[in-house]
Structure 1
């Protein structure tokens, strides 16, 4: 999967693989060079490797991952907060309207997550078909202030705290049966839990 103007930063010799709902827009803002070029989208590591093989081999590559449970909830509310958009494929989210209803929908039609980029499993952005991680480092959203400092030190970028961009309105999670949500997310994102060391209990 390759987007126009992907996250390649020649001035830092860095590639950023933007997994949706992991503070990627905030990171893009900090990595951006002041030349008027705006990058974006969710190009996969495999997409970078195939389209830009020389740059991919030479540059430092990193991604940020998030606990699948909080990412799923954040993605739902992000998609609900925005008008129905063909690119976002969020019509079904608006039709469900509540997280409980959406959980029921995905339980009945698990392939829904393969149709909405913000719900794709995180390993599909970072790994190849054999589940081998293709980036140099994978950082955790849950420890982002400390992780961001390490990223800046690694790529030689002066450290400034990240702004919070594109937040969802999730707020305090209210759900009729949280165990259903946990069971669903654990099933759908099993490889993410295994590959990135997340606790399936939330």
Structure 2
């Protein structure tokens, strides 16, 4: 920063070559100095987000886990779109520095997203490190939903990113475009047009169907998810 009141050069923010989740020492130092300058400065976003940033295409992507993140990242990598901040975790970012960057995010029906997280992180992998008896119980999606309901899904840090409220993972006051997984082709094409990137990919593959592939969705699961993710349903209109 050239002076205490000036906005930092956005290009100082990059993630480390060997660690795509952490900022370089220079970038982290700038954030630390901004934070130390005092909360009243309003230089940093009040909340922290998982961010991907491209300086070449001037965008900030608020990453929402389980919503086409690998598809979007692969598209950028294969079409020459630099990801200077690759996958920074829980970062408060300098608002003024990125005021002229395009900001976007993608969301998904909360029920589909929850079931996808359960299938991937519980059934296919013991991501949460459950002991054997607990893991056996968690093979029932309703049991996993009851366990999830004991957490504060708005807490970041504190809640696993695959379960956090989607509305908490996006800076709703500053996002320019929110696309939907259900209309991904159309919406990502619009994002590509806005950021000056080549046309978007086809619909993401390996999506978990509602209820977990061919599994019927129980009334209990619908009610649990509707309660846990009420804010997402309200904000995004699902």
TM-score (norm 1): 0.75
CA deviation profile, 1:123-176 (whole Å, cap 9, x unmatched): 11113xxxx43311111111101111111111111104247467559321245x
- Normalized per residue, which structure has more helix? 1
1:116-135 to 2 correspondence within 5 Å?
116-127=160-171, 132-135=172-175
Cα gap change, 1:134 to 1:166, in 2 (>3 Å): farther
Alignment gaps of 5+ in structure 1: none
Q: 2:68 aligns with which of 7, 15, 23?
A: 23
- Secondary structure of the 1:119 match is coil
Equivalence for 2:40: none
For residues 16 and 192 of structure 1, the distance between their equivalents in structure 2, rounded to whole angstroms, comes to 18
Total equivalences in the alignment: 181
2:94 equivalent to 1:52: yes
Cα gap change, 1:60 to 1:37, in 2 (>3 Å): closer
Alignment gaps of 5+ in structure 2: 1-14, 16-20, 24-50
- Normalized per residue, which structure has more strand? 2
Q: 1:98 aligns with which of 128, 140, 164?
A: 140
Cα gap change, 1:34 to 1:137, in 2 (>3 Å): closer
1:35 CA drift (Å): 6.5
For residues 84 and 124 of structure 2, the distance between their equivalents in structure 1, rounded to whole angstroms, comes to 25
For residues 14 and 35 of structure 1, the distance between their equivalents in structure 2, rounded to whole angstroms, comes to 10
For residues 121 and 171 of structure 1, the distance between their equivalents in structure 2, rounded to whole angstroms, comes to 22
For residues 13 and 156 of structure 1, the distance between their equivalents in structure 2, rounded to whole angstroms, comes to 9
CA RMSD of aligned residues (A): 3.0
More RCO (CA 8 Å, sep 6+): 1
Checking the alignment, whether the CA contact within 8 Å between 1:25 and 1:165 is kept in structure 2 is: no
TM-score (norm 2): 0.65
CA deviation profile, 1:48-98 (whole Å, cap 9, x unmatched): xx333343212110000111111111111111255434xxx3537835122
- Secondary structure of the 2:231 match is helix
1:7-156 to 2 correspondence within 5 Å?
7-32=52-77, 33=80, 39-40=86-87, 43=90, 47=91, 50-85=92-127, 89=128, 91=130, 94-95=135-136, 96-106=138-148, 109-111=149-151, 113=153, 115-127=159-171, 132-156=172-196
